[in-house]
């Protein structure tokens, strides 16, 4: 019945790389969930967008994201691919929208809604396979997709990518036109590809909804790789 302390309890450790191979693994396995939990709490409590990506010492990949790793990555990309003009502050500073918390909230709400939407997209995709869809484009493609072979699928995918690029390009041009119509300052001379959406939106004060849409068109969906290509995930 002796209540002798069965363990040494928690002890302070140096912030150096843990020597033992196994001990390091164990430490990672215990701390990683905690890190994700903290990230989750931060997003839940503060309504912030957060993503965490880790590679264990063993090489395994773990990721957390709210609303999703990709969406945060896209937004990060958006900021670091463009941005830079409106606020010259150091580091990564940049407001997704203007500054009014009202617009902000709206943006956050729409993001959450988008999240919900995306969440169900997979389900809907399956349904779409069984029924005939309404969209004109859909109708054209619907019948074919099911019959394609693996190589045809590859071709189709390539074409879809190209089409999406066209959409992106088109939306970009629309913005360009819009800017010139509303007479923009001389600095509009910069490369379109690198043109910061924040600047565009900031200058024109495009409505939140449109802003999100265009942003989505510019980076959306196929986005991920652009991250990589355009450089940054900051670092």
Q: What are the start-end ranges of the E strands in 151-195?
A: none
Closer of 1 and 23 to its own copies (Cβ) = 23
| Torsion (CA) 160, 163, 169, 175 in degrees, nearest 10 | -100
What is the DSSP-derived secondary structure letter of residue 64? E
Q: Which of residues 191-220 bind its own copies (CB under 8 A)?
A: 193, 210, 213-214, 216-217, 220
Around Cβ 213, how many Cβ atoms within 10 Å? 15
Q: Which residue has the tokens 């590809």?
A: 193
Residue 1 within binding range of DNA, rule CB under 7 A: no
Q: Which of residues 129-168 bind its own copies (CB under 8 A)?
A: 129, 133, 135, 137-138, 140-142, 145-146, 148, 150, 153-168
What is the closest distance, in whole angstroms, from the C-beta atom of residue 124 to DNA in the complex?
31
What is the closest distance, in whole angstroms, from the C-beta atom of residue 200 to its own copies in the complex?
13
Q: Which of residues 46-75 bind DNA (CB under 7 A)?
A: 56-58, 60
Q: Which does 190 bind (CB under 5 to 8 A by kind): DNA, its own copies, none?
A: none
Among 109, 113, 121, 190, binds its own copies (CB under 8 A): 121
Check the CA dihedral 112-224-234-92 and report its sign. negative
14-23 — which CB contacts under 8 Å span 24+ positions? 21/57
Q: Which does 94 bind (CB under 5 to 8 A by kind): DNA, its own copies, none?
A: its own copies
Question: Of 91, 87, 90, whose CA–CA distance to 99 is shortest?
Answer: 87
What is the closest distance, in whole angstroms, from the C-beta atom of residue 6 to DNA in the complex?
5
- Region for 206 from its dihedrals, namely left if φ exceeds 0, alpha if ψ lies in -120 to 50, beta otherwise: beta
Q: Which of residues 7-46 bind DNA (CB under 7 A)?
A: 7-13, 22-23, 25-34, 37-38, 41
Q: Which does 8 bind (CB under 5 to 8 A by kind): DNA, its own copies, none?
A: DNA
Q: CB–CB of 179/66 below 8 Å?
A: no
**What's the rounded Cα separation, in Å, for the pair 33 and 52?**
11
- Interface contacts to DNA, rule CB under 7 A: 3, 5-13, 22-23, 25-34, 37-38, 41, 56-58, 60
């Amino acid at each position: 019945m002796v209540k002798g302390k069965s363990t040494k309890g928690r002890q302070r450790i140096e912030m150096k790389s843990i020597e033992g191979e196994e001990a390091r693994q164990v430490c990672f396995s215990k701390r990683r969930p905690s890190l994700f939990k903290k990230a989750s709490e931060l997003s839940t409590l503060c309504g912030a967008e957060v993503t965490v990506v880790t590679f264990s010492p063993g090489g395994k990949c773990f990721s957390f994201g709210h609303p999703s790793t990709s969406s945060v990555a896209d937004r990060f990309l958006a900021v670091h691919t463009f941005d830079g003009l409106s606020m010259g502050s150091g580091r990564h500073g940049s407001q997704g929208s203007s500054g009014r918390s009202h617009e902000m909230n709206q943006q956050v709400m729409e993001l959450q809604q988008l999240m919900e939407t995306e969440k169900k997209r997979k389900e809907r995709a399956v349904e779409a396979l069984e029924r005939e869809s309404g969209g004109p484009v859909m109708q054209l493609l619907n019948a074919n997709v099911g019959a394609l072979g693996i190589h045809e699928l590859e071709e189709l995918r390539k074409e879809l990518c190209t089409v999406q690029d066209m959409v992106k390009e088109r939306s970009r041009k629309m913005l360009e036109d819009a800017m010139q119509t509303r007479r923009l300052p001389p600095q509009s001379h910069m490369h379109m590809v690198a043109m910061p959406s924040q600047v565009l939106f900031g200058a024109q004060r495009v409505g939140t909804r449109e802003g999100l849409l265009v942003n989505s068109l510019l980076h959306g969906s196929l986005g991920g790789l652009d991250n990589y290509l355009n450089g940054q995930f900051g670092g």
